[in-house]
Amino acid sequence: MNKFEALGLNPSLVKAVAEMGFESPSEIQEKAIPVLLNEDTDMVALAQTGTGKTAAFGFPLIQKINAKSGHTQALILSPTRELCLQITNELKNYAKFEKGLNPVAVYGGASISGQAKEISRGAQIIVATPGRMQDMINRKMVDISKINYCVLDEADEMLNMGFYEDITNILSHTPKEKHTWLFSATMPKEVATIAKKFMARPIEITVGSKNQGATNVSHEYYMVNSRQRYDALKRLADANPDIFSVIFCRTKRDTQKVAEKLIEDGYSAAALHGDLSQNQRDLVMKSFRTKQIQMLVATDVAARGIDVDDITHVINYQLPDEIETYTHRSGRTGRAGKSGVSIVIVSKSELRKIKSIERIIQQKFEQKDIPDGMEICRVQLFHLANDIKETKINHEIDPYLPSINEVLEDFSREELIKKFFSVEFTRFFNYYKNSPDLSTGAPGDHGGDSTRFFINIGAKDGFDWMSLKDFLKATLNLGRDDVFKVDAKSTFSFFNTNASETDKVLETFKDFQYNGRHIDVEVTTDSGRGKRKGGKKGKKFPEGRKFSGGGKKEKSGNKKGGRGRNIESSLKRRRTKK
Ligand code: ADP
Ligand code: MG
């Protein structure tokens, strides 16, 4: 027997489920569906985000509704417009073979009279946001006085968003005899209060431990200076070329700012927040769903309920004010049985919040270092190689091949590969060669207790920051993270070590020769950073041999980083053209 049939679902529902490609019920579905089908009861069901709660109440609801009658029999309240539409869509899919069943979505930002009209045509199930529902009740556009079922979906989030009063008021317009099903990812006090106040001896179902995050999500944090948040984000994106992620910021302003920067740097990103018009939000969501956008930068409220599978990374650009919100954020990934990563970018002062989150999700975080330039270059290189491997050959180029072959006839296969990769790769490589080391949160950096040094060698001597770092580590006999913030200029450079190493550094380089030149190392107060941004560097040191571009380095460097991305998308374009 089909596993859904075994739960007691009608053949028409089982057929719809099969068409949707669900093979077996999720745990919450397995537990909730038989109970809701067989018993007339109230229910409190707790399960993490992405565990299939919609179907857990949707299937029984559809089976219990009388599709032949047009009167409103069920009300589903959900926190946001996006979620409202998602639930309605899911219900329509489930009810594909139920003749006459008409779920209607009711939410703000769209014509209220249009929605009222749809309801008047007979809506057995109304899926509504509390605000708009309240509006419709006030205007007597709906009648919920005869409903049999009320579902409070994502109850915790509705309460978080301040809908307590609306919910209370809406429920007062419903009959006492109805049954209330409450679904939630977490069980804060407020939800317990609602359950107590509006439900009669509810059956409680819990999947996983309360408040637990999805278990196929791993949690990582990266420690950075607050000023380096954005650079860290960029590196994380570059180190994951196939990233498909939601990036959470605390405010609309930050959301907008981060998205704009990413776009400027050549990434496919967009912002999603409450200041956008509904139309804009729909467009953004559509592009995200179809993966035109790789990185969606969003506020918590706007991202609530985004039901997009395949999200590889959730990135907490800033931690939420309410620690509980972290569960919702990380629940955006690891959906539908896939695995995902939830990343937190933290500054040192926020570190204790990680511990609180660990307690809530009952999972440990792994501390990781922001990947360095070399690591990213390697990842990008192999990504490019794989892209090439998978690229379908476009035979449009066939007619040109003889002449192309002529141009390249003197090169061996090895040389051609090297050259091809160099064309596409060098720009990316140069960007990271010139960018500073970000390993601020690395074990070697004990938070500001460091000394910054000036050294009179740099690019002219053939060093970039990575090779200089290696040179310093070897010469000073220091470990991997003991030399940091290495910044190679044209004729000189800067680097940091822990303050405790100051004497050792000065001692080592006292009378030190390099290529017959006297090496001069001094303690400096120059941060070596602030100046870079101004782009003055190029004017002062225009002739760095290995570093073309001089003054535009910072800016064009960013573009180059982005260019790596454009290369990928052009490869993708090539592929789809075929
Ligand atoms: P929740 O409300 O618990 O966050 P959803 O109901 O939005 O989760 O479901 C998450 C995703 O899993 C949706 O894309 C949904 O279509 C899918 N899904 C639900 N149940 C199953 C199932 N039994 N098998 C496969 N996919 C499922
Ligand atoms: Mg849900």
Q: How far is the CA of 54 from the centre of ligand 1 (A)?
A: 7
Considering every ligand atom, which ligand is closest to the CA of 308?
1
Chain-wide mean pLDDT for the chain? Answer: 82
> Atom 22 (ligand 1): residue with closest C-alpha?
22
pLDDT band at 68 (very low <50, low <70, confident <90, very high): very high
Give me the numbers of helices (H) and strands (E) for the chain, helices first please.
Answer: 24, 20
Q: How far is the CA of 283 from the centre of ligand 1 (A)?
A: 23
Q: How far is the CA of 153 from the centre of ligand 2 (A)?
A: 6
546 closest CA partner among 485, 429, 464 = 464
323 closest CA partner among 509, 551, 160, 439 = 160
Q: What is the mean pLDDT of residues 380-400?
A: 85
Comparing 530 with 280, the larger pLDDT belongs to 280
* Angle at the Cα of 383 from the Cα atoms of 287 and 469, rounded to 5 degrees: 115
pLDDT band at 228 (very low <50, low <70, confident <90, very high): confident
pLDDT on residue 421: 81
State the DSSP string of 362-392: T--EEEEPPPPHHHHHHHHHHHHHHHHHHPP
pLDDT band at 366 (very low <50, low <70, confident <90, very high): confident
39-43, 181-185, 230-234, 457-461: the lowest-pLDDT one: 457-461
Does residue 578 surpass a pLDDT of 60? no
> Atom 25 (ligand 1): residue with closest C-alpha?
22
Using the 8-state DSSP alphabet, how is residue 50 labeled? T
Ligand 1 pocket residue status of 55, Cβ below 6 Å:
yes
Considering every ligand atom, which ligand is closest to the CA of 55?
1
State the DSSP string of 427-470: HHHHHHHHSPP-GGGSTT--TT-EEEEEES--GGGT--HHHHHH
pLDDT band at 65 (very low <50, low <70, confident <90, very high): very high
Does residue 214 surpass a pLDDT of 70? no
What is the identity of the amino acid at 467? Answer: S
Ligand 1 pocket residue status of 50, Cβ below 6 Å:
yes
Site to probe by mutation for ligand 1, drawn from 9, 48, 51 as the one with most ligand atoms within 8 Å of Cβ, is 51
Ligand 1 pocket residue status of 336, Cβ below 6 Å:
yes
Domains of the chain, start order: 5-206 (3.40.50.300), 217-367 (3.40.50.300), 450-523 (3.30.70.330)
State the DSSP string of 70-131: -S--EEEE-S-HHHHHHHHHHHHHHGGGSTT--EEEE-TTS-HHHHHHHHHTT-SEEEE-HH
Ligand 1 pocket residue status of 153, Cβ below 6 Å:
no
pLDDT band at 7 (very low <50, low <70, confident <90, very high): very high
Ligand 1 pocket residue status of 49, Cβ below 6 Å:
yes
Q: What is the mean pLDDT of residues 253-279?
A: 91
What are 469-518's pLDDT values in tens digits?
989 998 998 877 788 888 888 888 989 888 888 999 999 998 888 888 88
Q: pTM for the full model?
A: 0.50
Which distant-in-sequence residues (6+ apart) come within 8 Å of 70 by Cβ? 100, 102, 121, 122, 123, 124
The H-or-E segment that residue 22 falls in is none
pLDDT on residue 460: 86
Ligand 1 pocket residue status of 54, Cβ below 6 Å:
yes
pLDDT on residue 356: 87
pLDDT on residue 272: 93
Burial class (CB in 10 A: 0-12, 13-18, 19+), 518: exposed
Sheet containing 43-46: which strands, arranged edge to edge? 103-106, 125-128, 74-77, 149-152, 179-184, 43-46, 203-206
Considering every ligand atom, which ligand is closest to the CA of 328?
1
Ligand 1 atom at minimal distance to the Cα of residue 307: 7
* Spatial distance between the Cα atoms of 276 and 287, rounded to a whole number of angstroms: 15
> Atom 10 (ligand 1): residue with closest C-alpha?
50
Q: How far is the CA of 128 from the centre of ligand 1 (A)?
A: 20
CA 16 to mean position of chain CA atoms: 31
Considering every ligand atom, which ligand is closest to the CA of 337?
1
> Atom 12 (ligand 1): residue with closest C-alpha?
336
Looking only at the bridges linking them, the beta strands covering 340-346 and 217-223 are: parallel
Ligand 1 atom at minimal distance to the Cα of residue 48: 3
Ligand 1 pocket residue status of 309, Cβ below 6 Å:
yes
pLDDT band at 305 (very low <50, low <70, confident <90, very high): low
What are 421-474's pLDDT values in tens digits?
887 677 677 777 766 666 554 444 445 578 889 999 988 888 888 889 989 998
Q: What is the mean pLDDT of residues 181-188?
A: 88
pLDDT on residue 434: 63
State the DSSP string of 283-339: HHHHHHHTTS-SEEEE-HHHHTT---TT--EEEESS--SSTTHHHHHHTTSS-TT--
Which distant-in-sequence residues (6+ apart) come within 8 Å of 390 by Cβ? 575
